[in-house]
Structure 1
Amino acid sequence: MSKNEKEINKPPTEKKLLGPSKSIFREYFESFVVTLIMAIFGMTFILQAVTVPTGSMQNTILVGDYLLVNKFIFAPGGNPLPFLPQREIQRGDIIVFKFPGYPDSLNKSKAEKEQAGPPFQINFVKRVVGLPGDKIEVRGNEVYINDRLLPEHRVIGDASDEKSALNTKEFEERQLEQSYDVYYSETEIESGGDSDYTFAAPGKPFTVAEDSYFVMGDSRNRSLDSRYWGVVNRNLVIGRAMFV
């Protein structure tokens, strides 16, 4: 056999891959990093999970409910892009926002401000009832928007929670012929009148400023909202509550 025939019949050698092969640990690490980056991006710009600490939105949202907040739906600056599923804030939207705090013009005491919580640090959940340019007038628990009465989302059933001043208990009587000793403690509870609405004074309509929103809780008797501390500026709105 000639030399040329030997070279032709020689089995082909395997080509070596360029670069080092990835280890399983490296593949898992890269997958974890990519997932973490996507999660951080999603929680920063698209979705956020929050819990509801109080009963101001009962029965729509209950104490302890978990909400997913859509942070992408409201267009920044109120200018939605035509190719994206964005829109402006509408009346009736349940929004999550940073508590704006009491305006200095209300001259609230330090204790009252501490009771409401530090501004710009606590997330509140309320319903939008007044849009920029709307005329708002509060008469007791009734709210008039542009001289029209706003329907109330009334609370049905027991709306008490751990922060309520009054808790209810149910008793079941099983033995009718037996007598029971009943013990109770006297507690005085004062109902806040119209004068408590430090921002929306009764009988004094006002106009919602530009880029601001008048918000209230569905449980009006138990809600600390725009009637007390004023309107919510657009830049404090985090997003719209999506799921419960």
Structure 2
Amino acid sequence: MKKRFKKLLKVILITFIFVLFVQIFIIQSFIVMSSRMQSSLFEGDFLILEKLSYGARMPITILSIPFLHKKIPFTNKKSFLDILNFSYFRFPGVSKIKKNDLIVFNFPKENDLPIDKKSNFIKRCIAVSGDTLEIKNKNVIINGEKKDDILDIEFKCRVITDGDTNFLKLIKNKYKLKNINLIAANMGIYDVFLSKKNMKKLKEEKPVKYVRVLKQMINQPNFEEIFPKSYFYRWNKDYFGKIIVPKKNQNVKLNLRTLAFYKRIIKVYENKNLTIKNDSIFINNKFSDNYTFEKNYYFVMDDSRDRANDSRYWGFLPEDHIIGKASFIWFSYDNFNGKIRWKRILKKI
């Protein structure tokens, strides 16, 4: 009886270590919890996140309960002790991060948490280190070339109908869309989030008279929400940049105007003591009119561009926050209709 128990315990222990190894270094599952990546990813998609492409990141928080992220289930207690953390290290990968990759990362704007215990997000890599990015009239331009044409991205649209009340049924049943805002009931005007494909199809429907993408104008700056949140830069989500994505060993000039872009990088991501005295910038108590980056950074965006929480709002993504690359959907469940999305299972992304 004791021998059987020891064998069973050994099998359980080996299995536990093997599964833990696979999750840390090879693959793990990730659940899409929002509609910000629609129409590429749906809320309720279960993804396989693979780590070999970019190289597996070694755990940073060592004293942590395996398979738990931030909290112990059904409690408000942390699943880790933040008293012993390792420095960032990533094993060599088989490929580099590329434009349009769907990457899962720890949300960099969260404070007072170890890197690997910050919330997990998924977004599309739009620009890599060293790229020049600009957004004009909602069009993303990288290094002077328009890059959005290959993606079926989603925008907020104004839809004008002939007033037919069946329009809502059409939108919900045929197009499977939610978050429909009624603007004028008597005139049949709605605001709907539409992908490029759905926009084209909807224009052909009988009750629809007109569809247009809602846009902010170039003279409508949004200082409070849009990165770098400075009055020096009169940008909004549809007119943004030009901006250069920081690259390791790249040197940039520092002044009160450019510091808006790099302040968080210097203080938080690269852990330097940054102070400003009499309009002069000091790093680690030394006057600095330039800075050389120690890490690579990336610019990420949501595919649903008008209900986003992406780099346009919070800035650059540091390389040490990246977990891995989304590979395929292994399961998908529609919580709204209570149905399995069979056509999305095993879909490559």
> Considering the TM-score relative to the shorter chain, is it more than 0.5?
yes
Which whole-Å CA distance do the structure 2 matches of 1:37 and 1:80 have between them?
Answer: 19
1:154 maps to: 152
Segments of 5+ residues of structure 1 without an aligned counterpart are 1-20, 103-112, 114-118, 160-167, 173-183
1:63 maps to: 43
Give a deviation string over 1:118-172, Cα, whole Å, max 9, x none.
x96211111111011110111232111011111242347999xxxxxxxx94169
Give a deviation string over 1:83-116, Cα, whole Å, max 9, x none.
xx621111121100111118xxxxxxxxxx9xxx
Q: Does residue 1:33 correspond to 2:25, yes or no?
A: no
Q: How does 1:1-244 map to 2 (within 5 A)?
A: 23-75=3-55, 81=92, 86-101=94-109, 121-152=118-149, 153-155=151-153, 169-170=168-169, 193=216, 195-196=221-222, 198-199=226-227, 201=235, 202=239, 204-210=241-247, 211-244=296-329
> Could you say if the C-alpha distance between residues 146 and 49 of structure 1 is closer, same or farther in structure 2, counting changes exceeding 3 Å?
same
More helix by share: 1
Segments of 5+ residues of structure 2 without an aligned counterpart are 58-87, 158-166, 172-181, 192-213, 229-234, 248-295, 330-349
RMSD of the alignment, in Å? 3.7
| Cα pair 1:215 1:225 within 8 Å, conserved | yes
Equivalent AA in structure 2 for residue 154 of structure 1: D
Which whole-Å CA distance do the structure 2 matches of 1:149 and 1:87 have between them?
Answer: 24
- SS of 1:23's equivalent in the other structure is helix
Q: What is the count of residue pairs matched by the alignment?
A: 187
Which whole-Å CA distance do the structure 2 matches of 1:131 and 1:53 have between them?
Answer: 25
Which whole-Å CA distance do the structure 2 matches of 1:124 and 1:170 have between them?
Answer: 32
> How high is the TM-score relative to the length of structure 2?
0.46
Q: CA deviation at 1:73?
A: 1.7
More strand by share: 2
Runs of 4+ aligned residues of structure 1 deviating over 6 Å after TM superposition are 76-80, 156-159, 184-189
Which whole-Å CA distance do the structure 1 matches of 2:241 and 2:320 have between them?
Answer: 27
Which whole-Å CA distance do the structure 1 matches of 2:155 and 2:143 have between them?
Answer: 31
> Could you say if the C-alpha distance between residues 212 and 78 of structure 1 is closer, same or farther in structure 2, counting changes exceeding 3 Å?
farther
Which whole-Å CA distance do the structure 2 matches of 1:57 and 1:49 have between them?
Answer: 17
Which whole-Å CA distance do the structure 2 matches of 1:99 and 1:148 have between them?
Answer: 28
> How high is the TM-score relative to the length of structure 1?
0.64
Which whole-Å CA distance do the structure 2 matches of 1:33 and 1:241 have between them?
Answer: 29
| Cα pair 1:74 1:239 within 8 Å, conserved | yes
Which whole-Å CA distance do the structure 2 matches of 1:136 and 1:148 have between them?
Answer: 9
> Could you say if the C-alpha distance between residues 44 and 203 of structure 1 is closer, same or farther in structure 2, counting changes exceeding 3 Å?
closer
Higher-Rg member (1/2): 1
> Could you say if the C-alpha distance between residues 133 and 157 of structure 1 is closer, same or farther in structure 2, counting changes exceeding 3 Å?
closer
